[in-house]
Amino acid sequence: MKQFQTSQLLNNLPKQFFASLVKKVGKYIEQGYDVINLGQGNPDQATPQHIVEKMQEAAADPANHKYSPFQGHHYLKQAAADFYQREYNVKIDPDKEVAILFGGKAGLVEIPQCLLNPGDTILVPDPGYPDYLSGVELAKAEMVMMPLREQNDFLPDYNEIPFEAIEKAKLMFLNYPNNPTGAIATKEFFEETVKLASENDICVVHDFAYGALGFDGDKAISFLQTEGAKEVGVEIYTLSKTYNMAGWRVGFALGNSSVISAIELLQDHLYCSLFGGIQEAAAEALTGPQDCVRELNNLYERRRNVLIEGLRSLGWNVTAPKGSFFAWLRVPEGLSSTEFADILLEKAHIAVAPGVAFGELGEGYVRVGLLTTEERLREVVRRISKLEIF
């Protein structure tokens, strides 16, 4: 069969790290090993039943068998606005300040294409979610990395970024609660960000994927709660983590109306909106009973405590995440993040993500997902203890 050459655009896209991790883990599973996979970010719980039932009911409605409106049903935009009013006391105009997305990732990859021209500058966190880089490459933009350092609670220090880069920047990605570090943002940090963005005409894109997951009684704050935030940016919210709807691919962007309009224009050329049944189920998730969200947050907090306390009992000096469902753990002295991840997989059959996969400053850490049972996390501690590393 003739092999057609792929375009330069595809050839230039960043390599998908997690595809190689899945392949590596799969080899051990094929050999019959009991691998505990903590390397990915796929929620392990089922979607709450009332949401599933709404989808089943909506799927049977012939009205949903037709094309949905190009920019989504108004009832879902209203549900997103009501959600933000209830959860964050933020007033959103559903007609001008909400864009429905095919999952949060879609919005994160689309926005650079909406706002940037080739050669424009974008500020990107290091370490950070790898798919930010995909949007940057598709827009042919230039990246300037914003270091996230443990001594600054994994918040960027804007004084560390060259002034020329800030002057040239048109876009900035932020993400709190943070993947991969589990850090959370403060009110003061978001205020500083709005000021910087306003003075330098930077559009802030806050990835709020883990917004529902905050521990020790601390609820994560929305960027849009900051005075002036809608003037300078948007927030991306996904139902994947909050409601265990990762496979449903539904989220939304909220905030600056010009950015929302640009997203919808691009999506008009790419898609014909989400299946109406998914939109009805998403609206039910946002406006229906929220006990499931509180229960899920408590579940992840219990898992976090089991893992962190267990690892500390081995003599591993680890920091507990404040949000998200990831723990960001320093590797032992003398080992790189990849070397340590390989040791865990080869000798303990535990899969984790090496920190370097998230950027240069991820070196020295591994990311561990809290996406298995407490008993399996105790087994992780037992297996690591047998390695006698600590």
CATH number of 49-287: 3.40.640.10
Q: CA distances (Å), 24 to each of 15, 29, 31, 341, in order?
A: 15, 9, 12, 11
Q: In the chain, what are the domain boundaries?
A: 8-46+292-387, 49-287
Q: Which two tokens stand for residue 276?
A: 């109406």
pLDDT interval class at 281 (50, 70, 90): very high
Give yes or no on whether 8-46+292-387 and 49-287 have one common fold: no
Per-residue pLDDT for 202 more than 90? yes
Per-residue pLDDT for 12 more than 90? no
CA distance 153 to 150: 5
Look-up: residue for tokens 């893992």? 307
- Between 3.20.140.10, 2.60.40.10, 3.40.47.10, 3.90.1150.10, what CATH number should domain 8-46+292-387 receive? 3.90.1150.10
pLDDT interval class at 189 (50, 70, 90): very high
What average pLDDT score do residues 86-111 get? 97
> What is the model's pLDDT at position 31?
87
pTM: 0.95
- Residue of higher predicted confidence among 42 and 166: 166
pLDDT tens-digit map of 83-93:
999 999 999 99
With both helix axes pointing from N to C terminus, report the angle between 49-59 and 276-287 in degrees, rounded to the nearest 10: 150
Q: What are phi and psi of 323, to 5 degrees?
A: -165, 180
What average pLDDT score do residues 318-324 get? 95
Per-residue pLDDT for 117 more than 90? yes
CB contact at 8 A, 329 and 318: yes
Per-residue pLDDT for 17 more than 80? no
Q: CA distances (Å), 126 to each of 149, 156, 326, in order?
A: 9, 9, 16
Q: Can you tell me whether residue 370 is helix, strand or coil?
A: coil
Per-residue pLDDT for 18 more than 80? no
Least confident interval from 4-8, 112-116, 354-358: 4-8
CA distance 323 to 97: 27
Q: Which residues contact 12 (CB under 8 A, 6 or more apart)?
A: 137
Q: What is the dihedral of CA 322, 244, 19, 107, to 10 degrees?
A: -80
For residue 331, with 0-12 CB atoms within 10 Å meaning exposed, 13-18 middle and 19 or more buried, which class applies? buried
What average pLDDT score do residues 6-16 get? 86
Q: CA distances (Å), 351 to each of 28, 260, 300, in order?
A: 10, 38, 19
Per-residue pLDDT for 15 more than 90? no
Per-residue pLDDT for 114 more than 80? yes
> What is the model's pLDDT at position 24?
82
CB contact at 8 A, 353 and 366: yes
> What is the model's pLDDT at position 225?
98
Look-up: residue for tokens 């903590």? 38
What is the residue-averaged pLDDT of the chain?
Answer: 95
What average pLDDT score do residues 128-138 get? 93
CB contact at 8 A, 176 and 323: yes
Q: Which residues contact 228 (CB under 8 A, 6 or more apart)?
A: 194, 198
> What is the model's pLDDT at position 356?
93
pLDDT tens-digit map of 334-349:
999 999 999 999 999 9
Q: Which two tokens stand for residue 138?
A: 């598709």
CB contact at 8 A, 315 and 390: yes
Total residue count of the chain as it appears in this document: 390
> What is the model's pLDDT at position 85?
98
Q: Which residues contact 208 (CB under 8 A, 6 or more apart)?
A: 175, 176, 220, 222, 223, 235, 236, 237
Pairing relationship of beta strands 251-255 and 98-101 according to DSSP bridges: antiparallel
Helices (H), 74-186: 74-88, 104-115, 132-138, 163-168
CA distance 14 to 44: 27
